[in-house]
Amino acid sequence: LLPISPSSFLFACGASLLVVSKSSIHTLCKSSSIMPPKADPSQVVEVCLRCIGGEVGNSSALAPKLGPLGLNPRKVGDDIAKVTGDWKGLKITVKLVIQNRQAAIEVVPTAAAMVIRALKEPSRDRKKEKHRKHNGNVTFAEIYDIAKVLRKRSLAREMTGTVKEVVGTCVSVGCTIDGQSPAEIIRQIDAGERDVAPYDV
């Protein structure tokens, strides 16, 4: 930055030379020192996180989302571990409703997490056992109960569509339903061989 006149400077930027006025430099410095407005603590903010049930998450991963809202990431991580104790070892989604620097924690389970939970598999050490095959069996009644939980979030027009969404999740999980493949269950629903009771939220 070299002065070339009382009102302007010569600014070297790589291989280019720019002539910058004093007023623009003053404006640039003034604007860079302005801090963004602070968040209103009374405002309700919702934050969704993916975590492992029953385990304390890494506070460094929570800090960028919770720090600006005035929350202690370590304390929130401990609270999440307590709330998600019933989902130990499963990847689930957690919704934080934050107001006045207080976080209300709500578990938003996915279809896959509920199907794996319905298999009632023994707990595993995630560090020693990396990839477990979920090749167990669930009943159609359990599938229907899962569909009732997901009905509010489902985009299907009728309960039959929501049940078929959960059955499709069983394909990716790798389990069977009443000892039959999920594809066979969907065929039975489409053919009217298996009744699905209507359910509205």
- Give tens-digit pLDDT for 45-62: 888 888 887 777 777 778
Rounded distance between C-alpha atoms, residue 22 and residue 3, angstroms: 10
> pTM for this one?
0.67
126-162 pLDDT tens trace: 666 666 677 778 888 999 998 998 888 888 888 899 9
Rounded distance between C-alpha atoms, residue 198 and residue 140, angstroms: 15
Q: What angle do CA 147, 148, 150 make, to 5 degrees?
A: 60
Neighbours of 49 (CB within 10 A): 19
